[in-house]
Structure 1
Amino acid sequence: MNKEITEKSKKIILIILIAGCFLSTLNQTLLNVALSSFMDIFDVTAATVQWLSTGYMLVNGVLVTITAFLMKRFSTRQLFISSMFFLLIGSILCAFSPNFAILLTGRMIQAIGAGIIIPLLMTVVLYLYSSEKRGGIMGTIGFAIIFAPAIAPTLSGFILEYVSWRWLFIGLAPFLLIIIVLAFKYLTNVAETTKAKLDIVSVILSTIGFGSILFGFSSAGSKGWDNSIVLTTIIVGAIVTTLFCLRQIKSNDPLLNLSVFKYKIFTLTSFINILITLIMYADLILLPLYLQNGRGFTALEAGFLLLPGAVINAFLSPVTGRMYDKYGARPLFITGLLFIIISMWGVIDLTESTSYMYLMVRTCILRIGLSFITMPLNTAGLNALPRQLGSHGSAVNNTVRQLAGAIGTAVVITVYSTLSTSHASELSIENVNISAVQLAKLASIYGSSGAYLFMLVLSFVALIVTFFMPAKKTEKRKNKGKKTALEQRGIR
């Protein structure tokens, strides 16, 4: 680490990186409510337009595994400015795309830029700040990461309603240019670079393995679990990923250092991370399905219902970050999961008359719970690692999150679809005169309730795991002793 970095320089570095992270996250979520519009604009099917999200996620997932190598090989300035340029070039290509193929190409280029931003930011925090101060800093980062998707649906809806869809991308360009200029002028390098060698075989294995798993699970929701492509890609992905992990364990200089799992706290937070990501993605899918398919609300009304909770989540993030520094991880996780359990319990019996305001309040309760967990979860896991494993821990965290998001989306759609079909059969037998429209609405409502019951069970599992987290003083003492022992044995 560069010892000459002053407090003022640290703040400038963080502001520039957080601004880039905000635009990257905003860019990732802006298109979520625009997919149906793109189907009409470019005359493509739902399966084709979904590649704007699936393709983006695939590129992200593949890139995340090599971020640890990139952070060793290239400087903070080089990586950040390159990422911003990829985002800028991708945005310009998307803005002026004459057809869907060019739009998708631009989107994939954007994903290259976005893939490294969050791992880079997390690693920089590990280098610049001691473990006692990281919670508050991570909370500030959390505000940027959470606030972007909070305003994205409303911002996107406004642009699609009143101006051209091209402004979803044109609007980003000047802000990206400003950040690039600021980065050239003020951004300093945080860690020393090394002439690390890239393990090409590991890159190929990780690309095929993680890419196949992400593609398989992402496709399962639309194609079905019995589809040969889905089954083949998941099986191939699992086998190749296993080979990748075995190679990393045996390697003296692994692409992704799996020794991070020797730290109990990191392993526990990774498992909780999987469950929380499943729950979060499930709610983002189930609630709009219930509101639009079951109740007939518009996409804009569904977006407005989600907005207050997301804003509360964003503004609470810095607060819970400071609370983490003071109280440690376990009390925050327990508090957050109790809020999540209450919010899930409140939607296991949805009906045709469940009020809009009730759902809005319930979503706010869920988001309060998530604010106690999301950023403190990252901080606790990374704090458990020695500095030299920080970039690997950040890469593992993001890989786990990508896989959990893809798997969670597929699983929740499967549970929802299975239960909806089952209820539709029962309702048609019980009430022969029921209309097709009413049947579809009721089946969607009951399917959503059943899927939320599944999420409630996952919430209880996460709560049980949380009790294995050590208390703050014990956590600090164990981490210090474990790091010293492993560092003495030469683990890097």
Structure 2
Amino acid sequence: MTSPSTTTERTGAGVALLSLLMAAILVTVTAGDMVNLMLPAIGAEFGATEAELAWVVTGFLLMFSVGIPLYGRVSDRVSLRRLFVFALLVYAAGSLVCALAPSLYVLVAGRIVTGIGAAAIPVLSIIAVTRLLPAERRGVGIGVVSAGAGIGTAAGPAVGGGVGQLLGWPALFWIMVVISLVLLPAALRVLPDEAPVGVGRIDVPGGILLGLGAGLVLFGMTQAQVSGFPAPSAWGSLLVAIVALVLFGWRTARVDQPFVPPSLFKNRVYRTSILVAFLAMIVNLGGLVFVSLLVVEVNGLTPGQGALVMIPAGIAVAALSPLIGRLADRVGARPLVLTGLTLIGLFSLFLSTFTGGSSPIPAGVGILGIGIGFILVMTTLIGAAAGELPGEQVGVGLGILQGVQFLGAGTGPAVFGVLVSARQQSGAAAVNPFYNGHEGAAYSDVFLAMAAVVVLTLIVASRMRPAAAPAIVTPAS
């Protein structure tokens, strides 16, 4: 087995590695919600209903949330180069299908294929940093990768709205095809081809049950957003998901080498990171989606103009993420996570209070603050979790962490979407007494609900302390 130092030196881990990882994660995460603002145009072209259009987003996110933990586990057996190249090729193929799609059903199929490829990139990027960079540079490396994910999340609506309005929605997918193919030679040159050794067999049935449970949770939540929780497709999917996850837990407790080692969750930092990542992502994605809708529906902007509102958040994330990774190594995870969550909560309240006028500036300020707070939280959490996990559990552990994160990405818009629909139908005034508008009252209530979720997350994150080292007893002389 190649030593880490040799692998790092031979593969040129450093600027070349981080450039590859940041570009790859940027392009794949951007794909997640770049079509959101173009859904009306797609629906008009194909004559699709709102429920049918939801599959353009759901199909991608479904494969994303299911695939991340699976790729994390497989990375313990297959080389990073082979997995990364496979992912880029599948991503390019799916994007090509989307660009040429003659019908909505072909477009959805292409998005599903795209999601299968894209799911590998976030988790493999973090694993590459932890395996190929020396310990003193991992904080910065994780910060750079997190910057790519943060920019991609914030840039999705911006790229989709701007490029889609200018060149049409198929151009979005042509761009993704070109970029993913350009990244292939770099992946072949930079990443090592050695597979990890000394790892037991993979529990395939356990992985299937976990993927089925995660996928059905996401599907049920998105169906609730479109049709409401009373719809059979919503509650039925959630019920089957619970059954699958219960069976997964039962199998985990009974096999010798389960898909997810139970010892992962004995560590308080990792256990807390899982829950905090899920809750923080619910708020972050909810903010990105509903600020995008707010500036179009309430402030009267076009999708292209609305995209400009999201750009400052992406720039801030790009600038701050590497610094956050370095800072986390110095001050520890807990203070930075609590600070980031506080920022998210305060700016959620800001959005709830000041977005009732005609100006989109408060919306831009609010999403900027949420973006800075979120990247502070996630960069720190990923670094803390990676530092806590033993080497043989890094792949599966980070896979579960990022899978939960993107499960939150699907859950947030669905839950808050139900709230927006209910509040718009009621026509009632905003709950926030300081909100000075009326047309956007439903959005004010959503941002207020996000702030409430952050309060819960702060309580959870306050327990994020490493276990105390055992005291050293000095014998009396």
Assess same fold via TM > 0.5. Answer: yes
The answer as to whether partners of 1:66 and 1:255 remain within 8 angstroms in 2 is no
| Percent identical | 25
Match of 1:274 among 254, 274, 278: 278
Query: 2:91: which partner in 1?
Result: 87
What amino acid does structure 1 have at the position aligned with 2:12?
S
Matches within 5 A, 1:279-358: 279-350=283-354, 352-353=356-357, 355-358=359-362
Structure 1 residue 295 displacement after superposition: 3.6
Aligned to 1:171, the other structure's residue is in SS state helix
- 1:200-233 CA deviation, whole Å, 9 max, x = no partner? 4324423432222111111101101111221111
- One-letter identity of the residue aligned with 1:222: V
Equivalent in the alignment of 1:42: 46
Note if contact 1:13-1:186 (Cα within 8 Å) is conserved in structure 2. yes
Which stretch of structure 1 is more off in the superposition, 61-70 or 102-111?
61-70
Q: Do 2:63 and 2:112's aligned partners in 1 also have CA atoms closer than 8 Å?
A: yes
Equivalence for 1:2: 2
Counterpart check, 1:237 vs 2:241: yes
Q: Which residue of 1 aligns with 2:145?
A: 141
For 1:164 and 1:348, the matched residues in 2 are separated by 33
Deviates more, 1:138-147 or 1:168-177: 168-177
Q: Secondary structure at the match of 1:72?
A: coil
- Residue identity matched to 1:18: M
Distance 1:219 1:13 in 2: 39
Note the C-alpha offset of 1:443: 5.9
Whether the aligned pair in 2 keeps the contact of 1:124 and 1:190 (CA below 8 Å) is no
Cα distance, 1:195 vs structure 2: 7.8
Structure 1 runs of 4+ off > 6 angstroms?
none
Alignment partner of 1:160 is 2:155: no
Query: Is the contact made by 2:165 and 2:304 (CA closer than 8 Å) also made in structure 1?
Result: no
**Which residue pairs with 2:445 in the alignment?**
450
Q: Does the residue aligned with 2:122 lie in a helix, a strand or coil?
A: helix
2: CA distance between counterparts of 1:50 and 1:258? 35
Q: Quick one: distance in 2 between partners of 1:147 and 1:225?
A: 32
Could you list the per-position Cα deviations for residues 91-150 of structure 1 after superposition, in whole angstroms to 9, with x for gaps in the alignment?
222222222222222221111111111111112222224554322111111222222344
Separation in 2, partners of 1:351, 1:80: 42
Give the structure 1 partner of residue 433 of structure 2: none
Counterparts of 2:339 and 2:304, CA distance in 1: 32
Shift in CA distance, 271/112, structure 1 to aligned 2, threshold 3 Å: same
**Aligned partners of 2:295 and 2:363 also within 8 Å:** no
Q: Does 2:118 match 1:114?
A: yes
RMSD: 2.6
> Alpha carbons of 1:246 and 1:129: their partners in 2 closer, same or farther (altered >3 Å)?
farther
SS in structure 2 at match of 1:15: helix
**Aligned match of 1:401 in 399, 405, 415?**
405
Distance 2:369 2:116 in 1: 35
Q: CA deviation at 1:261?
A: 1.0
User: In the alignment, is the contact (CA less than 8 A) between 1:16 and 1:187 conserved in 2?
Assistant: no
1:79-228 → structure 2 map (5 Å cutoff): 79-189=83-193, 191-193=195-197, 197-228=201-232
May I ask how many residue pairs the two structures share in their alignment?
462
Q: 1:447 to 1:386 in 2, by over 3 A?
A: same
Paired letter, 1:448: Y
How far apart in 2 are the matches of 1:21 and 1:309?
A: 17
Once structures 1 and 2 are overlaid, which stretch shifts more, 361-370 or 31-40?
A: 361-370
- The alignment partner of 2:76 has SS state of helix
Deviates more, 1:68-77 or 1:269-278: 68-77
Pair 1:466 & 2:469 matched: no
Kindly report which structure 2 residues correspond to 1:358-437, keeping only aligned pairs within 5 A, or say none: 358-424=362-428
CA distance in 2, matches of 1:272, 1:24: 23
Does the 8 A contact of 2:99 with 2:170 survive in 1? yes
Which residue of 2 is the match for residue 434 of structure 1?
A: none
Deviation string for 1:44-74 (max 9, x for gaps)?
Answer: 1221121111011111222223224321332
Structure 1 residues 40 and 423: CA distance shift in structure 2, 3 A:
closer
Gaps of at least 5 residues in structure 1 are 428-440, 482-492
Q: Could you state the TM-score of these two structures normalised by the residue count of structure 2?
A: 0.89
Q: Secondary structure at the match of 1:333?
A: helix
Question: Which shifted more, 343-352 or 261-270?
Answer: 343-352
